[in-house]
Each structure stands twice: as structure tokens, then as C-alpha cells.
């Protein structure tokens, strides 16, 4: 008997909404303008991931979490088990992923429910045993490459009280906290979103309320 696997259903908005709100390249720190509109149920829907990955008329909403402890930022390399093969072997300082229809049971898509989905995603990829505060500080868009064209990031900073973090998934390799010098030396091997965040790290941190 052949068992057909169900496609992952992920949260998207139409690119036309992004353009209506004000399209940009790079970081935008006006979270209060964009995020409520992205989470409004009339503006988003779930669709099959395989088709969304090649459809630039849609933008997949991706929480992208930077974990920081005493000025050092958590860094890892995407291993062979990564779900996004176009980012294989790339360094990253962002933990996150898609919001999928399994989250919809807790989703009225208000801010509290969205934050719960962010925490779920981080909890799947990391064993995080430190208390932390969660801050959404920016939106991130990069239409310069094929991956970026179909994604829209929401950059979060988790401010950790300790560095008690271990990997929770096989795709996380070479996990370590890096200081500014380490980030600078690793920048060229990072995915584009992480490069953008490294380049504007002071601005991201200063955006924490």
C-alpha cells in the first residue's frame, strides 16, 4: 500500500499586501505597522509549502529569532537535515521557521498566539533552559535571491539570562555563542538574512523596548 505524505501547510500573505503596506529591502523597524496586518486573519492563509517555495506572489511569514547572552549571539551551521536545502552548510544566527496549520488550534492569530508559535518553533530546534525575554524588533526582507523572494522575516531577540542552550534538531551543527569579532569573521559564510542582522546588530538591540 502506498502512503501519501500530506504537504506541510504554512502561513503566507500575498505579496500585494506587502507592497500595499510598503515594500522594502533589508530591515524595517516599524513592527507596529506591519505585524498586526500580517496577523490579521483576513490578510493571511495556509497553503502547501512546496508550491509556496516557488511562488513569489506569496510571502511566507518566518519568525527569525536571535538569541543573545551578555552581548554574544548564538550561531550555528545548517547541516544536512535542514528543511531548506538552499541554505545547506550556511552559517546562521537566526532560529525559526514557518508557522503551520498545526498552530491554528491555538491561533486566533493575535499577538499572544503568534508569540506562542514562535516559542514552539524555537523549542523544536533548541533545548533552551534559560529564562529569557522575547522582543519583536524588526521586519526583514531580501528579494535579491530565490529564497528571500518567497519569505518575509519577523526578527525577534531573545535576551537570555544564561547560556544554557543545546541543539534540539540534527540540522543544528557547530552551535556556539560568538562575540562581535567571531561574528565578523564568520559573516561571509552566513545566509543573507544573518548577514543583514550582523551588519545591523546594534540597531536591532537598540530597538528592544
Closest CA to 10 of 142, 120, 134, 151: 151
| Other Cβ atoms within 10 Å of 42 Cβ, number | 7
pLDDT at 209 over 50: yes
Q: pLDDT at residue 48 above 50?
A: yes
> Helix, strand, coil % (nearest 5) of the chain?
35, 35, 30
Q: What percentage of the chain reaches a pLDDT higher than 90?
A: 72
SS3 129: coil
Q: Is the pLDDT of residue 146 over 50?
A: yes
Q: Do residues 148 and 141 touch, judged by C-beta distance below 8 A? A: yes
Beta carbons within 8 Å of 154's beta carbon, 6+ residues apart = 31, 35, 38, 61, 62, 63, 64, 136, 138, 139, 140
Asked if 160 contacts 130 with a C-beta cutoff of 8 angstroms, the reply is yes
pLDDT band at 41 (very low <50, low <70, confident <90, very high): confident
Q: Rounded distance, CA 91 to CA 76, Å? A: 6
Residue 153 has pLDDT above 70, yes or no: yes
pLDDT, tens digit (0-9, with 9 covering 90-100), for 57-109: 999 999 999 999 999 999 999 875 444 445 457 899 999 888 887 765 545 56
Based on the number of CB atoms within 10 Å of its own CB, is 72 exposed (0-12), middle (13-18) or buried (19 or more)? middle
Q: What is the mean pLDDT of the chain?
A: 89
Grid coordinates in use for 198? 550582523
Q: Nearest 5°: CA angle at 97, between 55 and 196?
A: 85
C-alpha cell at 25: 529591502
Mean of pLDDT values over 51-56 = 96
What domains can be seen in the chain, in order of their start residue?
Answer: 9-204 (3.90.79.10)
Amino acid at each position: 500500500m502506498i502512503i501519501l505524505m500530506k504537504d506541510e501547510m504554512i502561513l503566507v500573505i500575498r505579496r500585494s499586501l506587502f507592497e500595499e503596506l510598503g515594500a522594502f529591502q533589508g530591515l524595517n523597524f516599524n513592527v507596529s505597522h506591519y505585524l498586526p496586518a500580517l496577523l490579521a486573519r483576513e490578510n493571511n492563509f495556509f497553503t502547501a509549502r512546496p508550491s509556496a517555495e516557488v511562488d513569489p506572489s506569496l510571502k511566507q511569514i518566518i519568525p527569525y529569532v536571535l538569541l543573545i547572552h551578555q552581548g554574544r549571539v548564538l550561531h550555528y551551521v545548517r547541516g544536512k537535515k535542514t528543511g531548506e536545502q538552499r541554505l545547506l552548510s550556511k552559517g546562521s544566527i537566526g532560529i525559526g521557521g514557518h508557522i503551520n496549520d498545526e498552530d491554528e488550534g491555538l491561533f486566533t492569530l493575535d499577538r499572544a498566539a503568534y508569540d506562542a508559535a514562535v516559542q514552539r518553533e524555537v523549542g523544536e530546534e533548541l533545548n533552551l533552559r534559560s529564562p529569557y525575554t522575547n522582543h519583536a524588533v524588526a521586519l526583514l526582507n531580501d528579494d535579491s535571491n530565490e529564497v528571500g523572494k518567497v519569505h518575509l522575516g519577523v526578527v525577534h531577540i531573545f535576551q537570555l539570562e544564561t547560556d544554557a542552550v543545546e541543539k534540539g534538531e540534527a540540522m543544528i551543527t557547530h552551535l556556539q555563542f560568538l562575540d562581535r569579532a567571531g561574528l565578523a569573521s564568520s559573516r561571509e559564510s552566513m545566509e543573507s538574512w544573518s548577514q543583514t542582522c550582523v551588519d545591523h546588530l546594534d540597531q536591532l538591540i537598540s530597538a528592544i523596548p
